[in-house]
Amino acid sequence: MDRPRELLRAVESVRDQTYEPIELVVIEEGVTEPQVPALLADAGFDSTEFRHVFNEEPTGVEVARNQAVAHSSGEYLAFLDDDDEWYPTKIEKQLSRIRETGCDVCYTGAERRGPDGDLRATAIPDVEGDARSRTLAGAIIGPSVFVVSRDGFETVGGFDEEIPFWEDWDFLYRLSERYRFTGVHEPLAKIHTDADVRRSDAPDLAERGGRYLIDKHCPIDHERQRFATRRFKSRVWNGVGRSALMNGRYSDARAFFARAVLEWPFDRSLLLYGALSYGGDPVLQTAQTVKRGVVGMVHD
């Protein structure tokens, strides 16, 4: 547990939900001795308010999520990364929407915030009913914004424990193949990011995950799905390119953006990302500063 303050913030946002009852399962791993029970007790949590699962060795986020589900009993499931948080009405509004529509999957919008809590962007997907084309294109935010029925989770087999990256993209696409989606179209989650911190292994993991996704979901380019498949491949290579870009591997980023353009040349964002990859650190940092300034003005 390397970020106790963030974990406590996340858990408190679960406790503050207006919907009751909520069963809270916390997975702790990668440390020699459990630390979460003492942390939560010091914050005023009773031991009956949460279930703690301890793994001394790190298992990976996809395994941890599956493990949390296995230790839960609720009819509906919601996932929250330890550095994210929910607004108090999130679960109540999502379950109300599920009852209204009869859907098995409900998402919300989200605020993306930087390391200091500054608002970087607000994303509110607009997807209803058949979400296959949108999830294939990677248009939906990750697990911290979702509620899914246990039946849906178990039917698609949970999170793929073999995928090295983008396990949430894969999971949501498999859900969309079988179930209808609905949404609460307002930002009810805060997704905190450490995007300013570079990880040298992130682009390699992203590339491995991208190839895994393509091999799994696009084994054959069927004529009927040719355009959706090409757009999916473009989104994958775009994502890998952005990972390389944000981690300072500019020549690799240009190669992945070029591959994305070959698959789907109609995505105008590729022109912007490609230009940033030629500018190096000064241009990228300037672009990020300008974007934050624009977001700040819009929300002031």
Q: What is the Cα 49 distance to its own chain's centre?
A: 26
Q: What residue numbers bound the domain in which 170 lies?
A: 4-192
Residue ending a domain, choose from 192, 222, 238? 192
Q: Is the CA virtual torsion 4, 106, 128, 157 positive or negative? A: positive
- Tell me if 9 is assigned to some domain: yes
Mean pLDDT within 44-69: 92
Nearest to 188 by CA among 128, 125, 135: 125
Mean pLDDT over residues 261-284, rounded? 87
86 shares its domain with 170: yes
For residue 300, count CB atoms less than 10 angstroms from its CB and return exposed for 0-12, middle for 13-18, buried for 19 or more.
Answer: exposed
In a domain, 207, yes or no: yes
CATH number where 293 lies: 1.25.40
pLDDT at 47: 85
- Asked whether residue 88 carries a pLDDT value surpassing 50, the answer given is yes
Question: Rounded to whole angstroms, how far apart are CA atoms 138 and 235?
Answer: 7
In this prediction, residues 220-242 reach a mean pLDDT of 81
Q: What is the CATH number of the domain that holds 55?
A: 3.90.550.10
CA 213 to CA 219: how far, in whole Å? 10
Say whether both 114 and 220 belong to one domain.
no
The answer on 222 and 92 residing in a single domain is no
Pair (236, 208) in one structural domain? yes
Q: How far apart are CA 29 and CA 10, in angstroms?
A: 17
Residue 299: the pLDDT is 47
Question: Roughly what angle, to the nearest 10 degrees, separates helices 250-263 and 226-246?
Answer: 170
Choose the final residue of a domain: 141, 173, 192. 192
* Per-residue pLDDT band at 291 (split at 50, 70, 90): low
State residue 258's pLDDT score. 95
- Whether residue 127 is predicted with pLDDT greater than 90 in this model: the reply is no
In-domain check, residue 109: yes
| CA 157 – CA 170 distance, rounded (Å) | 11
- 272 shares a domain with 178: no
Looking at the structure, do residues 156 and 182 belong to the same domain, yes or no? yes
Tokens encoding 69: 């589900």
Q: Average pLDDT, stretch 265-272?
A: 90
The total number of structural domains in the chain stands at 2
Q: Are residues 178 and 50 in the same domain?
A: yes
Q: Residue 165 above 80 pLDDT?
A: yes
Whether residue 165 is contained in a domain is answered as yes
Residue 294 has pLDDT above 60, yes or no: no
Q: Let me know if residue 114 belongs to a domain.
A: yes
The pLDDT-based confidence of 290 (bands split at 50, 70, 90) is low
| Final residue in a domain of this structure, among 142, 161, 192 | 192
Residue 289 covered by a domain: yes
Q: What is the mean pLDDT of the chain?
A: 88
> SS3 of 82, please?
coil
- Predicted pLDDT at 107: 95
Tell whether 197 is covered by a domain: no
Say what the pLDDT of residue 193 is.
83
Percent of the chain predicted with pLDDT > 70: 89
> Is residue 134, in this structure, part of any structural domain at all?
yes
